[in-house]
A and B are shown apart, each in its own frame.
Chain A
Amino acid sequence: MNIKGSPWKGSLLLLLVSNLLLCQSVAPLPICPGGAARCQVTLRDLFDRAVVLSHYIHNLSSEMFSEFDKRYTHGRGFITKAINSCHTSSLATPEDKEQAQQINQKDFLSLIVSILRSWNEPLYHLVTEVRGMQEAPEAILSKAVEIEEQTKRLLEGMELIVSQVHPETKENEIYPVWSGLSSLQMADEESRLSAYYNLLHCLRRDSHKIDNYLKLLKCRIIHNNNC
């Protein structure tokens, strides 16, 4: 027994140590502990998790926009300047149920991932700029930070889903680029406020879009359109 025991013990110990080390580097509440490519978490869990995140992100974005508007821009007609200001408008996203049902699953997923990727940089700059503001509004800043964090998690989850549903998909890194940083840093307060308003307005909209799309996809893929 001893002869057999020692290699088993060694491998068990090695496995344990490697697991512990891997677990260290994983974000809290990971879906796939250890970040293994072949995840044993079911697709259903992945989608449930993604929906929860997208729902949460939109709630935060909505609150952040409301607070910003109430505090800085209410009744000043900034909405008029927010028309056509979103950098993701170039993406051909479905705008009603019929269009959404016509788009195929793979493209739909790629679309969602593109939108999420395109928001990495704006969110980063939003956090940086708000943080650098004099009298940075704490409520808005905290939400921005949280949104940035959760969007990253959601993107990871989406990439996992894609790898499970369409493993042959090659990475398509094309996404709309945001170029509003200079607007956020403008000296003129009106222009600067307008830039922030537009950014938050677009964020609110896009986060709702992603949430709706994911709920559609979840019912389509997991429940076979029978939610």
Chain B
Amino acid sequence: MKENVASATVFTLLLFLNTCLLNGQLPPGKPEIFKCRSPNKETFTCWWKPGTDGGLPTNYSLTYHREGETLMHECPDYITGGPNSCHFGKQYTSMWRTYIMMVNATNQMGSSFSDELYVDVTYIVQPDPPLELAVEVKQPEDRKPYLWIKWSPPTLIDLKTGWFTLLYEIRLKPEKAAEWEIHFAGQQTEFKILSLHPGQKYLVQVRCKPDHGYWSAWSPATFIQIPSDFTMNDTTVWISVAVLSAVICLIIVWAVALKGYSMVTCIFPPVPGPKIKGFDAHLLEKGKSEELLSALGCQDFPPTSDYEDLLVEYLEVDDSEDQHLMSVHSKEHPSQGMKPTYLDPDTDSGRGSCDSPSLLSEKCEEPQTNPSTFYDPEVIEKPENPETTHTWDPQCISMEGKIPYFHAGGSKCSTWPLPQPSQHNPRSSYHNITDVCELAVGPAGAPATLLDEAGKDALKSSQTIKSGEEGKATQQREVESFHSETDQDTPWLLPQEKTPFGSAKPLDYVEIHKVNKDGALSLLPKQRENSGQPKKPGTPENNKEYAKVSGVMDNNILVLVSDPHAKNMACFEESAKEGPPSLEQNQAEKALANFPATPSKCRLQLGGLDYLDPACFTHSFH
């Protein structure tokens, strides 16, 4: 029984379905509103997509209600927008208000409703494309030719009252090109195109968009033929200008590269090296130095070719009397002789502090601790020693005048140690000079203090800078090294003449002009002028004389005598140890007295540095 009922039910249903299917009638499928647009914010249209119609004529109706209202309305216009559309006219359109709408599809078999769509006209604005696109080639006579594009806004859009704001965009391309050239035109309705390929056919299009909304479709393309004589004068000119300037730049770069160094030296002249007047490099080169050194107890005096070492070694910051000139004996390298205990590493040229007169003046006048760092400890411990006369200032010759302390008589920068004014302060400056101008003369026995590398390098580099003075410097160094290696009690004997120590020759200051082959020093006598008239450094030729060390006094004073043919004699006093301070003080005073008169006259302006030619000074210790 039950089975019969069930099967009967199924049979009936199937029959019904069969009938329906045979008829092809079904209720309509669910429609869908897929798009709503407003072209001008005053009207809008919605379109729907019908579902299956079920084989029967189907009616569609759109119903809506608005935000804040409860009343349902039906679409006022099904026609204007085309099939399956609903158009809302001005009186039905409200901005800033949500529309809730729905489409109802009905046929004989039934009906179906679409989903509700929430629409705000504010956000569905999309205008029509602009109209009347006009393109023209304009070639004014005295200006560049250009493409003139003009259009008008779409109809039904109210721009005048400001209700609607339109922004435009154009695009163009040569007919065969693949990429469009797009230009944004803002709110203007015309545009100029300046860069075009002559002889080509161009396509131009324009579109627009509201201030807040969607872009319109592109307008239909307008074609324009660019004439072949559409010249680009500007470009050619600029290209040639660019090429020319590039060529010029290359030439300049090449010239600079070739002569870079000389130009650089022209712009930045090298700092002149110290001049050592009277220093005859040739003298040092020859064998005399060896003899002298052996006499001093040094062995393997630095080979004549190794002047750099000599100079480096020779410069020694030595304050103590015992060690002045020290550094002479470096255990390892007698040849190295004395290494200057101190060299001012700061000088640009790497020379000793005396190398650059300005530096010297600064350092020599101030109590400095820097030099002391280079000091041999022993030396430092004896800062009080004014007698450290081994301040042999190789640069002295070209020293500037600001070295009152420096020369009691130090006007003549000679390679010979000079008595240092004891009361000169600061001591350290004194030391500086000693450092830089380390004299080998005098008390040997003080352990040689080796120059540190910096000093050495500085010295060496200073050498290179002193292009013109190398000869002299070398000689000077040799001489210095001579002195540095001198034992305390070893009389310094020149290979030639000896002058008995204690000869009552007036002590005079000379400046070493050069050292000749035999190791004799060529000295320039100081002009004995109380007024301290400057002596021109440039006149050494007139006063070439040879001087020799006649001996070393007890106090490590070198006594120099001039050559027989030389008339002048110079006698240098050098006291490595504490000599009679009083004497030196007196001398210092004298020197000081003389000094002030000379500096201004003695200045040599060399590259901005003040060089004072010690020759200018007349310091008389008499």
Interface contact A205-B161, CB-CB below 8 Å: no
B513–chain A nearest beta-carbon distance, Å: 67
User: Would you list which residues of chain B between 132 and 181 have a CB under 8 Å from chain A?
Assistant: 158-163, 165
Interface contact B95-A219, CB-CB below 8 Å: no
B211 within 8 A of A: yes
Interface digits, A66-91 against B, CB 8 Å rule (1 contact, 0 not)? Answer: 00000000000001101110000100
Of A80, A83, A220, most B-chain CB atoms within 10 Å: A83
Closest to A227 in B: B162
Interface contact B160-A208, CB-CB below 8 Å: no
How would you classify the secondary structure of chain A's contact residues: helix, strand, loop or mixed? helix
How would you classify the secondary structure of chain B's contact residues: helix, strand, loop or mixed? loop
A212 within 8 A of B: yes
User: Would you list which residues of chain B between 28 and 54 have a CB under 8 Å from chain A?
Assistant: 41-42
- Distance of A211 Cα from B98 Cα, bound (Å): 19
B608 within 8 A of A: no
Which B residues are CB-close (under 8 A) to A101? 161
Interface contact B94-A208, CB-CB below 8 Å: no
- Distance of A83 Cα from B95 Cα, bound (Å): 14
B39–chain A nearest beta-carbon distance, Å: 14
Interface contact B160-A95, CB-CB below 8 Å: no
B183 within 8 A of A: no
Which B residues are CB-close (under 8 A) to A216? 161-163
A142 within 8 A of B: no
Closest to A205 in B: B96
State the interface size on chain A (CB cutoff 8 A).
32
A55 within 8 A of B: yes
Interface contact B163-A97, CB-CB below 8 Å: yes
Closest to A97 in B: B163
Known: A80-B118, A89-B68. A225 touches B160 (CB 8 A): yes
- Distance of A226 Cα from B96 Cα, bound (Å): 25
A93 within 8 A of B: yes
B93 within 8 A of A: yes
- Distance of A209 Cα from B67 Cα, bound (Å): 16
B331 within 8 A of A: no
B90 within 8 A of A: yes
Which B residues are CB-close (under 8 A) to A82? 98
B43–chain A nearest beta-carbon distance, Å: 10
Residue in B100, B118, B120, B158 whose CB lies within 8 Å of A205: B120
- Distance of A53 Cα from B41 Cα, bound (Å): 22
Residue in A96, A100, A208 whose CB lies within 8 Å of B212: A208
Residue in B90, B96, B97, B159 whose CB lies within 8 Å of A227: B159
- Distance of A80 Cα from B97 Cα, bound (Å): 13
A79–chain B nearest beta-carbon distance, Å: 5
Known: A89-B68, A96-B93. A83 touches B98 (CB 8 A): yes
- Distance of A209 Cα from B93 Cα, bound (Å): 15
B498–chain A nearest beta-carbon distance, Å: 84
User: Would you list which residues of chain B between 336 and 390 have a CB under 8 Å from chain A?
Assistant: none
Which of the four size classes fits the interface of chain B?
A: 20 to 34
- Distance of A216 Cα from B122 Cα, bound (Å): 16
- Distance of A32 Cα from B97 Cα, bound (Å): 37
- Distance of A84 Cα from B42 Cα, bound (Å): 22
Known: A55-B211, A93-B96. A208 touches B161 (CB 8 A): no
A160–chain B nearest beta-carbon distance, Å: 20
Closest to A214 in B: B162
Which B residues are CB-close (under 8 A) to A80? 118
Which B residues are CB-close (under 8 A) to A217? 162
- Distance of A226 Cα from B160 Cα, bound (Å): 5
Which A residues are CB-close (under 8 A) to B162? 215-220, 223, 225, 227
- Distance of A193 Cα from B237 Cα, bound (Å): 65
Closest to A93 in B: B96
Which B residues are CB-close (under 8 A) to A118? none
Interface digits, A181-224 against B, CB 8 Å rule (1 contact, 0 not)? Answer: 00000000000000000000000010011011001111110010
Interface contact A83-B161, CB-CB below 8 Å: no
Known: A95-B96, A225-B161. A205 touches B122 (CB 8 A): yes
Which A residues are CB-close (under 8 A) to B122? 205, 208
Which B residues are CB-close (under 8 A) to A96? 42, 90, 93-95
A226–chain B nearest beta-carbon distance, Å: 6
A174–chain B nearest beta-carbon distance, Å: 21
A48–chain B nearest beta-carbon distance, Å: 13
Interface contact B212-A95, CB-CB below 8 Å: no
Which B residues are CB-close (under 8 A) to A205? 96, 120, 122
Closest to B68 in A: A84
Interface contact A58-B42, CB-CB below 8 Å: no
- Distance of A168 Cα from B93 Cα, bound (Å): 36
A163 within 8 A of B: no
Which A residues are CB-close (under 8 A) to B98? 79, 82-83
Which B residues are CB-close (under 8 A) to A208? 96, 122, 212
Interface contact B212-A62, CB-CB below 8 Å: yes
Closest to B67 in A: A83
- Distance of A82 Cα from B366 Cα, bound (Å): 88
User: Would you list which residues of chain B between 119 and 133 have a CB under 8 Å from chain A?
Assistant: 120, 122
Which A residues are CB-close (under 8 A) to B158? 97
Which B residues are CB-close (under 8 A) to A93? 96
9 other A-B residue contacts (CB within 8 Å) besides A97-B41, A205-B122: A83-B67, A83-B98, A84-B68, A93-B96, A208-B96, A211-B212, A215-B163, A217-B162, A225-B160
Chain A residues engaging chain B, CB cutoff 8 angstroms: 55, 58-59, 62, 79-80, 82-84, 89, 93, 95-98, 100-101, 205, 208-209, 211-212, 215-220, 223, 225-227
Between A and B, 16 residue pairs with Cβ closer than 8 Å are: A58-B212, A79-B98, A79-B118, A95-B96, A96-B93, A97-B158, A97-B161, A205-B96, A208-B96, A208-B122, A211-B211, A215-B165, A218-B162, A219-B161, A219-B162, A225-B160
Chain B residues engaging chain A, CB cutoff 8 angstroms: 41-42, 67-68, 90, 93-98, 100, 118, 120, 122, 158-163, 165, 211-212
In the A-B complex, the 3 residue pairs with the smallest Cβ-Cβ separation, listed nearest first, are A219-B162, A95-B94, A215-B162
